[in-house]
Homo-oligomer: A and B are copies of this chain.
């Protein structure tokens, strides 16, 4: 089934449009977990694994999706990547939709590498390896379509989805994204239009495309404009909830 339909059906089933972020930061782990483990990297990953599993166990029947933030796993080195792999796999096993928040993007041949890692498969000779069990990946649009196409091809082939950055939630997103072009449109509107166009082949039964968009809740006006501009685009909306303040971050669909 089309990835966005899997997500939307899950949202309907649970009557809950939030996604829970899993961004491991040692300082924010509860003391009752921390005190059981050491402070070397391996132990911190073990502690975080207990935390992540506990969160997933407790939310998997009420929240449809989980969003691990790759940066915080990468900041725990090789052990952190194994923690990320296990976390994605455990969330899937518990029936959750997994959105890997990694903001990847490069020229086409390189985006293929990222796409193989997270959406498709790595092919070696006649064997294929599925490395991370993920439904959606967040993607950066700066390279234009040939940096995005490898992801879209894998979305089609493996029933996966991407969320492309359109308007991000941080204050300085305006520095580039809000600039006005000579045709009167802003950069985020141009990116919004591109995302709409790129996703036309992947519209599912619910009327939304698996090529979806990231639009920050911190900018209500832009959010309204983009909602009008992109009626078939599903929005991942960071900044709804406790962004920055704690390790859980929420998002919703409108």
Contacts and interface: CB of A to CB of B under 8 A. Distances in A.
Interface of A: 23, 26, 39-41, 44, 69, 71-72, 74-78, 81-82, 85, 103-114, 116-118, 122, 124-125, 127, 129, 131-132, 140-147, 165, 168-177, 179-182, 184, 187, 190-191, 194, 238, 243-244
A40 B243 CA distance: 40
Contacts of A143: 168, 170, 172-173
A26 to B, nearest CB: 5
A101 B112 CA distance: 15
Contact of A129 (B77, B111, B129, B187): B77
A72 B113 contact: yes
Contacts of A147: 168, 170, 172
A3 to B, nearest CB: 20
B187 A176 contact: yes
Q: Assembly of this chain: how many copies?
A: 2
15 contacts: A26-B124, A40-B127, A41-B124, A71-B117, A72-B113, A74-B117, A75-B113, A77-B81, A103-B106, A143-B168, A144-B172, A144-B175, A144-B177, A176-B190, A187-B187
Given A77-B131, A105-B140, A176-B187, A111 B194 contact: no
Given A103-B106, A125-B39, A144-B177, A75 B116 contact: yes
Given A103-B106, A168-B107, A187-B176, A113 B82 contact: no
A176 B75 CA distance: 31
Given A71-B110, A103-B105, A146 B165 contact: no
